[in-house]
Amino acid sequence: MRAVTRIASSHPGLRPADGPSGRIPPRARTAAALLMCAVTAAGGVVACGDTGSDGGQGKASCVSPFIRSDTRRSPPDPDSPTSFGEVRPGQHLSVRGWYYYGGPCDDTGSGAARPTSAGPVNLSLTTSDHRTAALGTAHPTGSNASFVLSVAVPARAPAGPASIGDGQGHVIRLDITAP
C-alpha cells in the first residue's frame, strides 16, 4: 500500500488522503494500481490483477505459459526449474505445459476476451555439447491451453546436463546418463 500511496502522492491528479480517515479513495487506488501495472508490464511481468470493487483481489489473471516435469499447475521458480533428474537415452518422458494462450489477455474476469490456444509448441532438447534436437510438437487445448506430450530422449544424446525447452525461455532440466 505504501507504493500506491507514494504514486498517489506524486501524481498531481491524485490525493493521498481523502478526509480525516487518511485512506486513499477507491478511484485513486485503482488509478495508481493501473499505473503500477503498466510500468511493471513494460518491465516484462505479465500478471496484473483486477483492482475493481473486489478490493484488489483479482478475479482472474493473465498467466505466462510454463512447462513442468510433474503435474503441479503452478509455474516453477524461474531460478529453479523442474527436473526429470537422471534419464537414459531412449527413455520416454511426459512434458506438461499450461497457459499457452493466444490473443488478448483478460485479467478483469469480465469474460469479454475468450482465451484461445496460441498454437503449436515445439519442444526441443539442448544437450551438454550445446546441440539442439527437436523432440515433438505439442498442441495446447482446453480452457487452460494445456498439453501433455510424451517425448523420447534421443538414443545418441551425449551424457551430461541437458534441458528441454519450449522456445520461449521455459525449461525443464535433466541429466542424461551414459547408455
User: Does residue 163 sit in the same domain as residue 87?
Assistant: yes
Predicted confidence at residue 50, as pLDDT, reads 35
Q: What's the grid cell of residue 6?
A: 507514494
How high is the pLDDT of residue 9? 41
> Within a domain: residue 12?
yes
The answer to whether position 53 is within a domain reads no
Q: What is the pLDDT of residues 15-51, one digit of tens each?
A: 444 444 444 444 444 444 444 444 434 444 444 433 3
Give the integer Cα–Cα distance in Å for 179 and 176: 9
Domain extent for 129: 66-176
**Residue 114 confidence (pLDDT):** 60
* Same domain, residue pair 130 and 172: yes
Helix (H, G, I), strand (E, B) or coil at 28: helix
Return the pLDDT at 110: 65
Residues 123 and 171 in one domain: yes
pLDDT of residue 79: 86
Q: Nine-digit cell at 171?
A: 525449461
- In this predicted structure, what is the pLDDT of residue 143? 85
Strands 92-98 and 116-117, bridge-based pairing: unpaired
Question: What pLDDT is attached to residue 48?
Answer: 40
Dihedral, CA of residue 12, residue 13, residue 14 and residue 15, to nearest 10: 70
Q: Residue 111: what pLDDT?
A: 61
Same domain for 85 and 141: yes
pLDDT of residue 137: 98
Task: Give the number of domains in the chain.
Answer: 2
pTM of the complete model: 0.63
Task: Tell me whether residue 78 is in a domain.
Answer: yes
Whether residue 48 is contained in a domain is answered as no
CATH number at residue 146: 2.60.40
What is the bridge-based pairing of β-strands 160-165 and 171-176? antiparallel
- Residues 120 and 36 reside in one and the same domain: no
Query: What is the number of residues in the chain?
Result: 179
The burial of 4, by beta-carbon neighbours within 10 Å (0-12 exposed, 13-18 middle, 19 or more buried), is given as buried
- From first to last of its 179 residues, what are the pLDDT tens digits of the chain? 444 444 444 444 444 444 444 444 444 444 444 444 444 344 444 444 333 333 333 333 477 899 999 999 899 988 889 999 999 999 999 999 999 988 767 666 666 666 677 899 999 999 999 999 999 999 999 988 999 999 999 999 999 999 999 999 999 999 999 87
